[in-house]
A and B are shown apart, each in its own frame.
Chain A
Amino acid sequence: MPMMTSQQYEDSLRKLNLVVYMFGERIKNVVDNPIIRPSMNAVALTYELAHRPEYEDIMTATSHVTGKKINRFTHIHQNNGDLVKKSKMGRLIGAQTGCCFQRCVGMDALNALSINTYNIDAKYCTKYHERFIDYLKYVQENDLTCDGAMTDPKGDRSLPPHKQSDPDMFMHVVEEKKKGIIVRGAKVHQTGAVNSHEIIVMPTISMREADRDFAISFALPSDTEGIIYIMGRQSCDTRKMEGPGNIDQGNTLYGGHEAMVIFDNVFVPWERVFMYKEYDFAGELVEQFASYHRQSYACKVGVGDVLIGATQAIAKYNGVEMASHVRDKIIEMNHLNETLYCGCIACASEGHKEASGTYAVDTLLANVHKQNVTRFPFEIARLAQDIAGGLMVTLPSQKDYDCPEIGKWMDKYFRGNAEYPTEERMRILRLIENMTLGTAAVGYLTESMHGAGSPQAQRIMIARQVNLDEKEKLAKKLCGIKKEEK
């Protein structure tokens, strides 16, 4: 099965035996749960688009290990063109879903490991890369969705892993066996975790020798015994329980989710271990993954496309689309959104080949891109709310709109431009609400802030990557300073 259809993907999830909790209860039917279902729909779209001729040029690739046509989400980038297509794919699916579609994180983990396992082998004569390629073939042949799990709870941030009062604050080895290892810990903020077939675990920070038991990377089926998922809450999440197509849901089709993933003494066979105590490679893996994942925020450009479209629509419904300040604000939203696009295309176009043969993005530009993502969606969202007006947050519910006694008053008084039905105006307002302070704001705003590393993490990388000495030399040369600094 080189490429699954969306139905095959859904069916494959039904076969998993995940241990998922939400609102204090075990969820027996994860796929059909109304709160989780929209996020499954978003991942399913990554399968559906790969089968449509008008998207396959971006959505598919040729495997460098099997030569077969595969979904791009399981591909290892073989040139800068692949990296550019990855950025374009993010925009495409972000625009189609208006939310986080979750599957990029596994792709980024696979690509980072393709580099890191090769480099560990080169130094220590280990066999991680061979293992990884076998695993990659399995993922590609079965077209799996992988959760890339990096973020540990981290406990006291001032202390390294080995000094934590509770060692489980970082994923670590608790026992070594003949056939594998036993691990314990947790990964938090795991986007799309319960929609995944596999979990790929990576260390979360650079480590020193004393932290060697924490320097581990491995992959497991998502329903492995001992793995427990606790669903994260999202603002307005229970609106999804008010019936399919409900106006108050905003986005009636798609959504995202995050979960906390507990590893309670979980067995990992050796063939699934990709780093074992090589602490000096933990930081490299974190940086490779982070750079890829910062590029992945190309998706926010697509989500921005939807929010800009919604804003243009509400301007028309409100009858203000020709007001010069409204037009200027929408221009500003586009300017910010396309500036984001510049960053994700640039870091891909300026990519380079690593020793393993995998192409990596330009680290500086990927970090600049993500730094912009921590800011611009907030301004785009502010402008959307500005143009939408206060009704976005004072609008009564669909149940009131459907109520025979009072619905007529809503229909009468919430009509804007008479050319458009009141219901359309309500739907667009709810979509803007969804994206700027409802469930989708988790992905569009706070995830833009903290996902793939908080703003300061990018600033540290930017400081490391720029060559200030060369810039200083350029300035001194132009103004006639000839003396070299010692």
Chain B
Amino acid sequence: MRHKKGRKIKPGIKYCGGCNPKYDRADVVKKMQHVLKDKVDFGSLEDEEISGILVVVGCETACVDASRFKKIPIWVITQPGDAEKFICDMK
């Protein structure tokens, strides 16, 4: 999903519960926010204007139930490599 008419994409962040994560999820999100600060406006799920959901999970089980977000794009980050790909896509 690309930005339209110069507007920033605004995904809401949804984490898994983090019972036994294989990487530091919050740290990866922090880096994404820093690198993409001019391209992406990360929001919360409560924000009505979000244009997608960034699901950040600690392992491949990806136990987050994202079914209620069917109508908007969902990006799933299961490892730091996924975050790098998201950054490339957004750039």
- A contacts, CB < 8 Å to B: 53-59, 85, 88-89, 91-92, 95, 305, 341
Contacts and interface: CB of A to CB of B under 8 A. Distances in A.
A339 B59 CA distance: 18
B15 A54 contact: yes
A91 B58 CA distance: 14
Nearest to B27: A54
B13 interface: yes
Question: What is the interface residue range for chain B against chain A?
Answer: 10 to 19
Contact of A57 (B17, B20, B26, B44): B17
Nearest to B61: A88
Interface string B41-77: 0001000000000001000000110000000000000
B20 A56 contact: no
B20 A54 contact: no
B87 to A, nearest CB: 19
Interface string B15-48: 1111110000110000000000000000010000
Nearest to A301: B20
A305 B58 CA distance: 16
Nearest to B19: A88
Interface of B, helix, strand, loop or mixed by DSSP: loop
Select the residue from B18, B19, B25 with max chain A CB neighbours within 10 A. B19
B60 to A, nearest CB: 15
Consensus secondary structure, chain A interface: helix
Contacts of A55: 15, 17-18
16 contacts: A53-B13, A53-B15, A53-B44, A54-B25, A54-B26, A54-B56, A56-B17, A57-B17, A58-B18, A58-B19, A85-B17, A88-B20, A89-B17, A92-B18, A92-B20, A341-B20
A72 to B, nearest CB: 9
A88 B17 contact: yes
Contacts of A91: 19-20
Contacts of B18: 54-55, 57-58, 92
Contacts of B19: 58, 88-89, 91-92
A89 B20 CA distance: 10
A89 B18 CA distance: 9
Contacts of B14: 57
A141 B85 CA distance: 43
Given A91-B19, A91-B20, A305-B20, A57 B13 contact: no
A341 to B, nearest CB: 8
A59 B56 CA distance: 16
Contact of B64 (A57, A88, A92, A341): A57
A303 to B, nearest CB: 13
A108 to B, nearest CB: 18
A59 B17 CA distance: 7
Nearest to A81: B65
Contacts of B15: 53-57
B15 to A, nearest CB: 4
Which 8 pairs between the two chains have the least Cβ-Cβ distance? A58-B17, A88-B19, A57-B17, A54-B15, A92-B19, A54-B26, A91-B19, A55-B18
Nearest to A85: B17
A53 B17 CA distance: 8
Given A53-B44, A58-B16, 9 more contacts: A54-B15, A55-B15, A55-B18, A88-B20, A91-B19, A91-B20, A92-B17, A92-B20, A95-B20
A81 to B, nearest CB: 8
A57 B19 CA distance: 10
B52 to A, nearest CB: 17
